[in-house]
Chains A and B, each alone.
Chain A
């Protein structure tokens, strides 16, 4: 049997991810997280915070909750169903930093927690920062002309 024939056979027997279910669940749970963020924003604004401060405090609150839930092994159980719903908001990033920090504690504070903390989130930082720099450069060029 050639590789091509086997690939065809493998596809026939490999069950595909339930995409419709995944989309609906990620939309609902992701939406719920964003709505919760909005509620927090309103509360913080009511408390007299400025818009920019309230936004930052909302992000900090969501990160804090995610890290606590990650530590108690609750976050991964929600994410298993939510998929992109928990991954796309800031919760996904917080979990990606907190989980290796917990996991690799056994290798020590420096080579474990310190070095491994960004194994998953590292690429997001590298390419996120690079993209924002490029975007800034484009914006700057547009402003000149």
Chain B
């Protein structure tokens, strides 16, 4: 049963584990430094589909299929699937998972969706409500651009603080018994807003939420940064990562040398023209479900905090002059 520790953390005493995982990415991500860890790299970002939205849905479908195959589990054996994406009304997930016949909970956590879905999937298993669950998350550069910004062919300039939405999907199958990495605890974050209004500086908007969740986790569990091998945030990029370090130092917590960010890992920032790094919920999903879980499985990482971060804005709220609130959820994962 999940046990509440401190203010926001749930400890999962039965230690649900990752039975299978998979990550699929687009061409640009496949040219990045993590290429060898992905299950599949699509040469064509349309995936042969007529629309970008269909391409994203297909990516979710294929990713979950592969994760289930790797876990040796059939869709019938999965009790619930938690999934989300960045598109209006979560259509990436709905249409991608439509044919599986698994009870479905659609989530919107902006770019924090991977840790939100994984956290819920693990809690369902730990509580005994399910034997096996799945968490799926995706984003697609082209479907996100047309919804949040400009058409792809529009000739504009991006400021240096802007980030590049990852075309990618990640899926994790969580089971009560397996040989995979173990989910130890989950901290759900609060909505934190320090008044950033620039939607081209998402890292700055999300960093305060990440700092709040990470600090709360340390307080709740009475631990400190040096107890962990890696503190991995979702998509803070260059600007947000620096701000996170500074914000935590302000509270007396030093994560220097232990922190990394999926948005910094997925691309070669020098060569790939992505400005401040990768973003989108597919960013943390694809990095977690390839490189990170593989390192945990082989034992070169043993004890990590995965804290995906989201900017809870929409084009409407931005146009109406609202600030960009942030959210961050943390999942504590250990090797078996």
How big is the A interface, by class? 35 or more
Bound form: Cα–Cα A65–B311 in Å: 39
List, in ascending order, chain A residues with CB within 8 A of B154's CB: 76, 95-96, 99-100, 120
Q: Which A residues touch B195, using CB under 8 A?
A: 3, 6-7
Kindly state the separation between the CA atoms of A22 and B159 in the bound complex, as whole angstroms.
11
Interface mask (A1-25 → B, CB under 8 Å = 1, otherwise 0) = 1010011011001111110001000
A83 at the interface (CB under 8 A from B): yes
A119 to chain B, nearest CB (A): 8
Q: How far is the CA of A120 from the CA of B150 in the complex (A)?
A: 8
User: CA A70 – CA B155 in complex, angstroms?
Assistant: 8
Which B220-276 residues have a C-beta within 8 angstroms of A? Answer: 238-239, 242-243, 246-247, 250, 276
In the complex, are the beta carbons of A87 and B155 less than 8 A apart? Answer: yes
**Is there contact, CB below 8 Å, between A99 and B157?**
no
Whether A1 and B161, one on each chain, are in contact in the complex, defined by CB atoms closer than 8 angstroms, is no
B160 touches A15 (CB 8 A): yes
A71 part of interface (Cβ distance < 8 Å): yes
Query: Which of B50, B155, B159, B247 sits near A1, CB closer than 8 Å?
Result: B247
Instruction: List the interface of chain A (C-beta within 8 A of B).
Output: 1, 3, 6-7, 9-10, 13-18, 22, 70-71, 73, 75-76, 78-80, 82-83, 86-87, 92, 95-96, 98-100, 102-104, 106, 120
**In the complex the two chains form, what is the Cα distance from A79 to B152 in whole Å?**
12
Is B204 engaged at the interface, CB distance under 8 Å to the other chain? yes
**CB pair B155 A78 closer than 8 Å:** yes
Smallest CB-CB A-B distances: 8 pairs: A79-B155, A103-B151, A3-B195, A99-B153, A15-B160, A99-B151, A99-B154, A6-B194
Q: B146 an interface residue at 8 Å Cβ cutoff?
A: yes
Q: Are A106 and B51 in contact (CB under 8 A)?
A: yes
Q: Which residues of B contact A87 (CB under 8 A)?
A: 155
Q: Which residues on A sit within 8 Å (CB–CB) of B246?
A: 9, 13
Residue in contact with A13 in the complex, picked from B51, B156, B239, CB distance below 8 Å: B239
- CB 8 Å contact bits of B196-214 with A (1 = contact, 0 = none): 1000010010001000000
A96 CA / B51 CA spacing, docked (Å): 21
**CB-based contact B243/A13 at 8 Å:** yes
B242 and A83 form a contact (CB under 8 A): no
Q: Which residues of B contact A79 (CB under 8 A)?
A: 155-157
- A contact residues around B150 at 8 Å (CB): 99, 120
The smallest beta-carbon distance between B51 and chain A, in angstroms, is 4
* Interface residues as binary, B53-72 with A (CB distance below 8 Å gives 1, 0 otherwise): 10000000000000000000
> With the chains together, A87 CA to B154 CA distance in Å?
10
Contact assessment for B157 and A22 in the assembled complex, using a CB-CB cutoff below 8 Å: yes
Complex contact A10–B151 (CB within 8 A): no
Contact B250–A95 (Cβ < 8 Å): no
**Candidate in A10, A79, A87 with the most chain B CB atoms within 10 angstroms:** A10
Query: Contacts A70-B155, A104-B151 given; 8 further ones with Cβ under 8 A?
Result: A6-B208, A10-B204, A13-B246, A15-B239, A17-B157, A70-B153, A80-B155, A120-B154
Q: Across the interface, name the chain B residue whose C-beta is closest to A98.
A: B153
What's the least CB distance linking A123 to chain B, in Å?
A: 12
A103 near B152: Cβ-Cβ < 8 Å? yes
- Complex-state Cα separation, A104 to B50, whole angstroms: 12
Chain A residues with Cβ below 8 Å from B196 are 6-7, 10
Residues of chain A contacted by B194 (CB below 8 angstroms):
1, 3, 6-7
Chain B residues numbered 73-113 whose CB sits less than 8 Å from any CB in chain A: none
- Our pick among B146, B153, B158 for the contact of A73 (Cβ within 8 Å) is B153
CB of B160 within 8 A of CB of A95, answer no
- Taken together as a complex, chains A and B put the C-alpha atoms of A3 and B242 apart, in Å, by 17
B273 to chain A, nearest CB (A): 9
Instruction: Give Cα A71–Cα B146 distance, bound, in whole angstroms.
Output: 16
